[in-house]
Every structure is written in structure tokens, then in C-alpha cells.
């Protein structure tokens, strides 16, 4: 191959790939990652024994009634938590979005104020999501006592941090020109968001929010350990009593909820398409 037609990006690409592999190797060693151990005879038997305990799933009417109540509690907790997190995430995410900055047009005056505010918003979001929800929950349990309130608040804060960051990034990666020409015609930030960015970004924002709601349902398991009620607490009890059948029914409920979230997300995306 002559030098003229050689892809100038090929060599750097090879270099970065090799570098990634070289970095990955010690990390795998460090985590003692040996997939072969899964298939050793003794281990297979131990896993089989553990999973065998889950069968058959518990289906007694009393337990199913308890399960239904716990499911409603979990849904309520996840939904309230997500609603709270959106109250945090929407303003912070918007603040972080560069394509809605009026002072960047031109560029005009006061750009440094916007830069500082965007940096602050980014920092606040990092703190909110940097602390795991379990730690927030342990903190709030001291205020609200055992119960769902601590769980909702903990979910709201951590998920607010995650949603805000991703909202900001989705809005930044959406075509910025429709919003920019609106800002250039004197429109405000919120109007430019609604008329310029949301038509293109709504689908992705909705699907990420529903996905986070699904994660919140799962996170309620962890919340159960601080007595936040719902499926998590039920799971905690069943596991402690080594009742595999009950655990299997609870897991099946999770699967149903995840599938429902998937269906909801698909429906909303189609409506917005």
C-alpha cells in the first residue's frame, strides 16, 4: 500500500485497542476472575443445591396476598422516588445543558457565570449520585425511623443525581441547532427546550426515565434491609428463613415488573415517535 492511501487513523486505533487490553488484564487478575471455576464439579453441585431450594415457588393464597401488598408498596416507593428524583434532575439537568445557554450565543457577555453554574450543577449531581442509596437510606432512617419514607428520599436523591446527569447529556447530544435558532430569535431557555430540543429528545428521555423506574423497583430490595417495606423486606425475611420457594415467587414478581416496565417504555416511545 502506498503511503498516500493509508488510513491515518489506523495506527492510533490499533494503539488504543492494545492499551485497553493491557489495562484490562491486571484488572481481571485483581478481581480473581476465573470463569472456569463455575464449571468445576463441586461448584456445580453446590449451585444446583442452592437453586433447587427455590423450587417449587410458594403459591399459598396467604403468601400471594402478602406478595401483592408488598408489590404495591414497592411500586409506590419506586414511583414516589422517581417523581422526587425528577424534581431534582430536571432543573439541574437543564442548568447543565450547554445548548440552552444564551450567553454562549455570539458569544455574549456573562459567559463565565454560565460556566460556573454548569460546573456547580455537575458537581451537585456527582455528589447526589456518588453516595449509594443504601448510605442515604441509613442516614434518613435516623430521621424518619424505619419505613418507606427513608427509602423514597434515598432513592429520590441518588436517582436524581443519575437522571440529572443523563438528562443533561441526552439534551447535549441532541441536535442543538433548532434550539439555537430559537434562542437567536430572542426565545427564553425553557421555550427553546420545549420547541427545539424536546421534540428530538423526548423519546430517549422517556425511555431512560422508565428504565430508571425499573431500577428503582429493583433497588427496593436493598431498601428492604433498612426496613423500607415492600418486596425488599419480604425478600429479606424469606432469605433469612431460608425459604427458597418464597424467594422464587418474589423473583418471579420482579421479572413481571421488569417486563411491565419494558412494555410501558415501548408504548411511550411509540406514542412519541
Partner 1 sequence: MGFSLDGVGLTHANGFRALRGVDLRVAAGERVALIGASGAGKTTLLRVLAASLRPSEGRVRLLGGEPWVDSPRALRRLRSRIGLVHQAPPIPPRQRVVTAVLAGRLGQWPVWKALASLLLPLDPAGAARELARLDMAERLYARCDRLSGGQLQRVALARVLYQQPELLLADEPVSAMDPALSELTVALLNEEALRRGVTLVASLHAVDLALRHFPRVVGVKEGAIAFDLPAAEVTEALLRDLYAAEGSLPLAGEISGVTAAPGLPPLRCA
The least distance separating partner 1 from the CB of residue 195, rounded to whole angstroms, comes to 5
C-alpha distances out from residue 267 to 37, 122, 207, Å: 42, 32, 10
Q: Are 137 and 159 in contact (CB under 8 A)?
A: no
Q: Is 192 in the site for partner 1 (CB under 8 A)?
A: yes
**CB-nearer residue toward partner 1: 198 or 264:** 198
* Sole window of 62-70, 188-196, 208-216, 219-227 interacting with partner 1 (rule: CB under 8 A): 188-196
Those residues whose C-beta lies under 8 Å from the C-beta of residue 164, and which sit 6 or more positions away, are 88, 89, 90, 92, 93, 96, 121, 125, 128
| Residues in 199-218 at the binding interface with partner 1, rule: CB under 8 A | 199-200
Q: Are 229 and 220 in contact (CB under 8 A)?
A: no
Q: Is 187 in the site for partner 1 (CB under 8 A)?
A: yes
Q: Is 109 in the site for partner 1 (CB under 8 A)?
A: yes
**CB-nearer residue toward partner 1: 69 or 104:** 104
Q: Is 105 in the site for partner 1 (CB under 8 A)?
A: yes
> Three cell numbers at 146?
424505619
Rounded to whole angstroms, the Cα distance separating 100 from 170 reads 13
Q: Which of 151, 75, 163 is nearest to 121 (CA)?
A: 163
**CB-nearer residue toward partner 1: 82 or 192:** 192
The least distance separating partner 1 from the CB of residue 191, rounded to whole angstroms, comes to 4
The least distance separating partner 1 from the CB of residue 244, rounded to whole angstroms, comes to 49
What is the crossing angle of helices 61-96 and 244-272, to 10°?
A: 40
Question: Interface residues with partner 1 (CB under 8 A)?
Answer: 102-103, 105-110, 175, 177-178, 180-182, 184-188, 190-192, 194-196, 199-200, 272-273
Amino acid at each position: 500500500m502506498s503511503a498516500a492511501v493509508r488510513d491515518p487513523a489506523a495506527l492510533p486505533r490499533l494503539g488504543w485497542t492494545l492499551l485497553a487490553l493491557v489495562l484490562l488484564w491486571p484488572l481481571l487478575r485483581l478481581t480473581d476472575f476465573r470463569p472456569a471455576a463455575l464449571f468445576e464439579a463441586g461448584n456445580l453441585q453446590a449451585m444446583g443445591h442452592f437453586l433447587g431450594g427455590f423450587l417449587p415457588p410458594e403459591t399459598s393464597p396467604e403468601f400471594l396476598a402478602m406478595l401483592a401488598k408488598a408489590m404495591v408498596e414497592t411500586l409506590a416507593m419506586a414511583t414516589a422516588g422517581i417523581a422526587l428524583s425528577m424534581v431534582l434532575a430536571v432543573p439541574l439537568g437543564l442548568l447543565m445543558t450547554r445548548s440552552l445557554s444564551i450567553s454562549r450565543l455570539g458569544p455574549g457577555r456573562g459567559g463565565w457565570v454560565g460556566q460556573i453554574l454548569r460546573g456547580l450543577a455537575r458537581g451537585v449531581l456527582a455528589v447526589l449520585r456518588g453516595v449509594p442509596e443504601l448510605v442515604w437510606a441509613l442516614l434518613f432512617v435516623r430521621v424518619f425511623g424505619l419505613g418507606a419514607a427513608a427509602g423514597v428520599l434515598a432513592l429520590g436523591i441518588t436517582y436524581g443525581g443519575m437522571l440529572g446527569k443523563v438528562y443533561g447529556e441526552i439534551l447535549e447530544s441532541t441536535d442543538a441547532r433548532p434550539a439555537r435558532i430559537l434562542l437567536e430569535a430572542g426565545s427564553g431557555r425553557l421555550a427553546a427546550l420545549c420547541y427545539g430540543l424536546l421534540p428530538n429528545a423526548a423519546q430517549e428521555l422517556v425511555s431512560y426515565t422508565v428504565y430508571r423506574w425499573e431500577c428503582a423497583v429493583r433497588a427496593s430490595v436493598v431498601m428492604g434491609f433498612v426496613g423500607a417495606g415492600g418486596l425488599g423486606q419480604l425478600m429479606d425475611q424469606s432469605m433469612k428463613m431460608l425459604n427458597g420457594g418464597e424467594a422464587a415467587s418474589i423473583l418471579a414478581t420482579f421479572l413481571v415488573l421488569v417486563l411491565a416496565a419494558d412494555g410501558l417504555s415501548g408504548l411511550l416511545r411509540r406514542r412519541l415517535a
